[in-house]
């Protein structure tokens, strides 16, 4: 392929040779690997802790992955105690003697022991709660996501993300998230290693990632490591769980917003499983007229995964996902006289209808070597997205992106917490759009672009584990253009011994580039249409620099705090040219920007209350500022939310629980209407004394005004009943208890306002077979 591709190939070859020579040098050590499973059901357990203990020697250990698999390499010969522990299970201990070169395989089974839950659950929550953030990274599991209730009965990643400080959402509609000053197109979302371009639904409670299919999620609000490339703001890396390999189970739920069905079970017991999920909105049919508003929204998703354990060293999985959304942004507005609109002719037609679809499918192969301390992973698949704005069938603007991906990742274990990560990704994307002249010189476009990334990263510990470092380098290349960028990155964590390791200091820094960008006409208030285009060959590629410093710790038993400061420097952005006179066509201009802010989080774990209730919850505050600068203008873009607060309180007693969730956000910038005039199109045969002109709106200073503040209180009550393998859940609640008129969409030409959801009750029931 061109010089940059040959350079990447040579670099990867050299790295592989270094790994192979290293493996020869460590052959005198032993290796322990295997699986951890439930002794009663045979279900493999993710997150179990395996430790090798020897008097007077450093502790060696690992944790099981999504397949229940673990590996401990570079173990010096000797006699050890193998200790396996997991929340809710009796700890298992076995003697183990290792000789030089031994490769020991073990299947370890743990017996359930509910009595142990109370002893360790507090510590587990402290490690995985909202304050367990490390330089922009939060590792989430399904239990954390389920903690944030929403309309319906199951949790969803989208609802959880809106509680994270530094993430800005328009509200309960729109399906857009902005992360620490980055724009919508700068977010990277992955499902089993494959990209999904518009993962959030038009009602912002929901996404393509329901809690029931999630095994784990790495959320980076910035400072992500060398493994991730092609985006420059944030990463949401979702790992879908594998289906049950021992017996069939499932769940079904019904609610007026969204109903769900999930089925999973063994195709070949103990070896091959399937997991399927279907979700479908009912709001358009179940509540066409709710509290004087229409809800013309239809959305849903379909997910399926087949996972197979070929042998102790080989596993393969296939994942498929499809999402769809369509709705009328202005469909909830009332008639001009203030009465509910029931489709009367007094409501003028508009083109505020939007829609988008995602289709993702692919496979993943994992090899765990029995000869060298190496885990290899191969991922390949296809991702497609299409979105449009305007009436269905005859849209005004359309945009689509389809990409073919292939990636390889190698993890090499050197022992003592030292690991090396090596890999790369190839992606070819096809882009097509038809913008109807919205942007000058970009009307109808079909293009292809090839992207190649390669990375090398290592993690190691110092000072007996008190300090951990993770430096890395990502190389980003465009073979078709012979361009290449080197992106150094580093993460560091320090848990000082003199503070009993209850306090953790962290930092991250990195450089990032992005070639495929999304164009949004920021002149629109509430616009959610994005056109994906490649950066022009002669234009500079957008770049970002991230810097993060943070601290987290437990101040008193059961109470933890976290604080993070961040700075993002952005350059070579493309933004619309602003003019007093509006038109459906605008030129683009380069811009630079920067974002800085401070996030604070306070969390309380399992505090006893009256009447045997237990209380837990958290409150977070985010302070930030985003600024864009062009040659002639400095302004704050439409996602610059200065102040944001979220608080959640959860009280439970046995099968009953109650949750209150409160959000506050200061107003977002927008460009107001400065007035109206009458525009005449002069031609030689025009008679201005008889031909009427067209009423035209005039723009005010760009983004000089702020929308009203956003505020919403939701209250939920839940009853959960377990009877053997059957679990029933009833959830009732109210969204926007105070019926606050939060702004969603505003038409600068007609001055018509559309609000977010009013006071909206929700009732749902779920029946699960475990």
Q: 563 with 549: CB under 8 angstroms?
A: no
Choose among 690, 733, 697, 696: nearest CA to 712.
733
Torsion sign, CA atoms 290, 293, 294, 295: negative
Residue 504 near residue 482, CB atoms below 8 Å? no
Instruction: List the structure tokens of 455.
Output: 């990375």
Torsion 152-156-162-163 (CA) sign: positive
Which residues make Cβ contacts (< 8 Å) with residue 544, sequence separation at least 6? 182, 186, 232, 233, 511, 512, 513, 514, 568, 569, 570, 571
Q: Which residues of 438-452 are buried (b: 16+ CB within 10 A; e: fewer)?
A: bbeebeebeeebbbb
Q: How far apart are CA 606 and CA 120, in angstroms?
A: 12
Cα torsion angle, 583, 585, 586, 587, sign: negative
Element (H, E) at 142: helix 142-146
Record the tokens describing residue 38, joined without a space: 């439930």
pLDDT of residue 658: 93
First-to-last C-alpha distance (Å) of the chain: 52
pLDDT for residue 124: 32
Give the CB-side neighbour count of residue 552, counting CA atoms within 13 A: 24
What tokens were used for 622?
Answer: 């985010």
What pLDDT does 289 receive?
62
| Residue 392, SS3 per DSSP | coil
Strands 103-110 vs 30-38: parallel, antiparallel or unpaired? parallel
Q: Are 380 and 362 in contact (CB under 8 A)?
A: yes
Residue carrying the six token digits 């570079």: 74
Residue 581 exposure: Cα atoms within 13 Å on the Cβ side: 5
Task: Tell me the C-alpha distance between 305 and 319, whole Å.
Answer: 4
DSSP 201-218: -SBTT-BS-BGGGEEEEE
Measured CA to CA, the distance from residue 521 to residue 529 in angstroms comes to 8
Both tokens of residue 368? Answer: 């765990």
Domain annotation for the chain: domains and CATH numbers = 2-116 (2.60.40.1120), 123-668+707-769 (2.40.170.20), 669-706 (no CATH)
Residue 2: HSE in the Cβ half-sphere, 13 Å Cα cutoff: 12
pLDDT value for 522? 56
Helices (H), 548-629: none
Output the pLDDT for position 700: 79
DSSP label at residue 611: G
User: Counting Cβ atoms within 10 Å, is residue 731 exposed (0-12), middle (13-18) or buried (19+)?
Assistant: buried
Return the pLDDT at 345: 40
Tokens of 194: 């494959």
pTM comes to: 0.85
Contacts of 693 (CB under 8 A, 6+ apart): 678, 679, 680, 681
Classify 3 as helix, strand or coil.
helix
The pLDDT score that the predictor gives to residue 331 is 61
Q: Are 207 and 214 in contact (CB under 8 A)?
A: no
Q: Phi and psi for 757 in degrees, rounded to 5?
A: -60, 135
Q: What is the dihedral of CA 214, 215, 218, 221, to 10 degrees?
A: 20
- Splitting the chain (770 residues) into consecutive groups of 10 residues, what average pLDDT does each group show? 52 51 52 82 78 77 77 81 87 88 82 53 46 89 87 90 89 83 92 95 92 92 94 95 89 90 92 95 71 76 95 91 88 43 43 86 90 88 91 82 96 77 95 67 69 94 84 94 93 83 90 87 62 80 96 87 96 79 61 95 86 88 95 89 94 91 92 72 62 68 87 94 90 93 76 81 91
Q: What is the pLDDT of residue 752?
A: 73
Whole-number Å distance between alpha carbons of 165 and 665: 11
Whether the CB-CB separation of 52 and 96 falls below 8 Å is answered with yes
Of the candidates 559, 552, 556, 555, the one whose C-alpha atom is nearest the C-alpha of residue 615 is: 559
């Amino acid at each position: 392929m061109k010089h940059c591709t040959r350079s990447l190939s040579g670099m990867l070859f050299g790295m592989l040779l270094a790994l192979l020579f290293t493996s020869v040098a460590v052959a005198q050590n032993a290796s322990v690997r295997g699986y951890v499973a439930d002794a009663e059901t045979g279900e493999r357990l993710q997150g179990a802790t395996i430790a090798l203990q020897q008097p007077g020697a450093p502790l060696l250990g690992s944790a099981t992955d999504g397949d229940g698999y673990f590996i401990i390499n570079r173990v010096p010969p000797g006699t050890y105690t193998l200790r396996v522990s997991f929340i809710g299970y009796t700890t298992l201990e076995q003697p183990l003697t290792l000789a030089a070169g031994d490769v020991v395989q073990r299947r370890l089974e743990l017996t359930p022991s509910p009595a142990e839950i109370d002893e360790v659950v507090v510590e587990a929550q402290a490690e995985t709660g909202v304050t367990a953030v490390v330089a922009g990274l939060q590792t989430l599991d399904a239990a954390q996501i389920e903690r944030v209730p929403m309309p319906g009965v199951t949790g969803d990643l989208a609802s959880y993300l809106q509680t994270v400080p530094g993430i800005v959402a328009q509200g309960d509609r729109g399906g857009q998230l902005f992360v620490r000053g980055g724009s919508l197109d700068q977010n990277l979302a992955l499902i089993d290693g494959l990209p999904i371009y518009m993962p959030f639904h038009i009602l912002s409670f929901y996404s393509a990632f329901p809690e029931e299919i999630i095994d784990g999620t790495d959320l980076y609000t910035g400072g992500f490591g060398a493994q991730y490339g092609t985006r420059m703001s944030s990463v949401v890396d979702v790992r879908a769980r594998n289906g049950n390999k021992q017996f069939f189970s499932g769940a079904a739920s019904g609610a007026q917003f969204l109903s769900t069905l999930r089925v999973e079970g063994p195709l070949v017991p103990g070896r091959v499983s399937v997991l399927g999920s279907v979700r479908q909105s009912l709001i358009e049919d179940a509540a066409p007229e709710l509290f004087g508003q229409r809800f013309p929204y239809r959305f849903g998703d379909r997910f399926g995964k087949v996972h197979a354990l070929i042998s102790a060293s080989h596993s393969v999985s296939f994942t498929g996902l499809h999402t769809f959304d369509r709705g009328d942004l202005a469909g909830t507005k009332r008639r001009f006289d203030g009465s509910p609109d029931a489709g009367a002719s007094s409501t003028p037609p508009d083109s505020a209808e939007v829609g988008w679809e995602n289709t993702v499918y692919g496979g993943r192969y994992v090899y765990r070597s029995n000869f060298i301390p190496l885990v290899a992973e191969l991922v390949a698949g296809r991702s497609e997205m299409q979105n449009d704005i305007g009436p269905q069938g005859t849209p005004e603007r359309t945009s689509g992106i389809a990409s073919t991906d292939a990636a390889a990742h190698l993890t090499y274990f050197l022992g003592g917490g030292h690991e090396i990560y090596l890999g790369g990704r190839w992606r070819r994307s096809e882009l097509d759009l038809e913008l109807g002249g919205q942007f000058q010189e970009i009307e109808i476009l079909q293009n292809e672009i090839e992207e190649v990334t390669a990375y090398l990263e290592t993690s190691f510990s110092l000072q007996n584990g008190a300090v951990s470092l993770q430096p890395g380098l990502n190389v980003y290349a465009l073979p078709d253009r012979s361009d290449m960028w080197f992106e150094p990155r580093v993460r560091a964590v320090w848990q000082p011994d003199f503070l009993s390791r209850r306090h953790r200091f962290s930092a991250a820094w990195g450089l990032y580039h992005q070639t495929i960008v999304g164009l949004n006409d920021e002149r629109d208030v509430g616009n959610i249409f994005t056109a994906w285009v490649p950066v022009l060959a002669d234009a500079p590629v957008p770049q970002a620099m991230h810097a993060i410093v943070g601290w987290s710790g437990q101040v008193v038993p059961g109470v933890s705090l976290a604080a993070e400061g961040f700075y993002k420097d952005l350059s070579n952005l493309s933004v619309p040219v602003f003019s007093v006179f509006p038109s459906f066509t605008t030129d683009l201009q380069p811009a630079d920007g920067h974002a800085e802010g401070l996030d604070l989080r306070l969390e309380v774990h399992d505090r006893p209350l009256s009447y045997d209730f237990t209380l837990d919850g958290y409150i977070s505050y985010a302070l930030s500022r985003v600024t864009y600068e062009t040659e002639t203008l400095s302004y704050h873009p439409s996602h610059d939310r200065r102040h944001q607060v979220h608080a959640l309180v959860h009280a439970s007693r046995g099968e009953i629980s109650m949750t209150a969730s409160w959000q506050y956000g200061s107003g977002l910038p927008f460009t107001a209407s400065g007035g109206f005039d009458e525009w005449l199109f002069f031609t030689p045969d025009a008679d201005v004394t008889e031909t009427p002109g067209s009423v035209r709106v005039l723009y005010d200073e760009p983004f000089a005004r702020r929308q009203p503040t956003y505020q919403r209180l939701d209250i939920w009550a839940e009853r959960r009943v377990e009877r053997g393998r059957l679990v029933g859940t009833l959830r009732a609640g109210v969204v926007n208890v105070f019926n606050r008129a939060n702004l969603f969409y505003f038409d600068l030409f007609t001055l018509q306002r559309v609000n977010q959801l009013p006071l909206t009750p929700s009732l749902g029931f779920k029946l699960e077979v475990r």
